Structure 1
Amino acid sequence: MIEIDWLAFVQVFVAALIASLLVVGFYAIAVRLLVRAGRVPVVAPAEFTDAITVISEKEARRAEKAAAKAAKKSPLTDGQKRFALVGAYASFGMCGLAVLGGLLLIIFGH
């Protein structure tokens, strides 16, 4: 007869929910601060099959130009931009620590 430890199941569920909220939350904060710091992440288009629409090089250049223009119009001072950049890197670091903590829990948490 198989017995299920429901308390352990709930503990794993709650831990996974909290970890996912932490990682996604810190990542969202980091990207937002990165944009506020004037470092808009622009990703070059990749080659896919015909099923997925890929932007052209002209559209990619236009997006890069718009990002550069938006960075110039930022109302933040240089100190505020630097502070936002440090905050973005700290948030990315917190994402990494949350993932590392989860891995350590899996490996050594018995």
Structure 2
Amino acid sequence: MSVSIDWFAFVQVFGAALLAASLVVTFYAIGVRLLVRGGKAPVVAPAEFTDALTVITEKDQRRAAKAAAKAAKKSPLTEGQKRFALVGAYASFTVCGLAVLSGLLLILFNH
């Protein structure tokens, strides 16, 4: 009994996975950057874990939200530029979602 490995297929899968991961990470980073430029800085409430080393207090959370709101007010962009940045951010997130969805569809229907 002999086991044969198709190395070219292995390289194809490796390249596709590397390209897809790079695509998702790049467009997600662009989306977050444009979201911040558009004045919608994401402020996420911290999760409390029982074994957490540091837990952000509610006071720190309010301070971060206040700083994000202040930074949004100081933005040198016009309202049109902010709107354009938000549209670009949502488009970038859509590209990320489509890349993930296409990967799932390849796995499900192309086996």
TM bin (shorter chain):
over 0.9
| 1:109 CA displacement | 2.5
How far apart in 1 are the matches of 2:109 and 2:6?
20
The code of the aligned residue for 1:39 comes to K
Deviations 1:40-98 (A, max 9, x none): 00001111123431111110000000000000000000000000000000000000110
The code of the aligned residue for 1:98 comes to A
How far apart in 2 are the matches of 1:82 and 1:32?
14
| 1:107 CA displacement | 2.0
The code of the aligned residue for 2:78 comes to T
Deviations 1:3-47 (A, max 9, x none): 111111101000000000000000000000000000000001111
Structure 1 unaligned residues grouped into runs of 5+: none
How far apart in 2 are the matches of 1:76 and 1:63?
22
TM-score by length of 2: 0.94
Structure 2 unaligned residues grouped into runs of 5+: none
How far apart in 2 are the matches of 1:11 and 1:2?
20
The code of the aligned residue for 1:34 comes to L
The code of the aligned residue for 1:52 comes to L
Q: Counterpart of 1:90?
A: 91
Q: Counterpart of 1:47?
A: 48
Q: Counterpart of 1:67?
A: 68
Regions of 4+ moved over 4 Å: none
The count of corresponding residues between Structure 1 and Structure 2 is 110
Q: Counterpart of 1:6?
A: 7
The code of the aligned residue for 2:97 comes to G
Q: 1:50 to 1:82 in 2, by over 3 A?
A: same
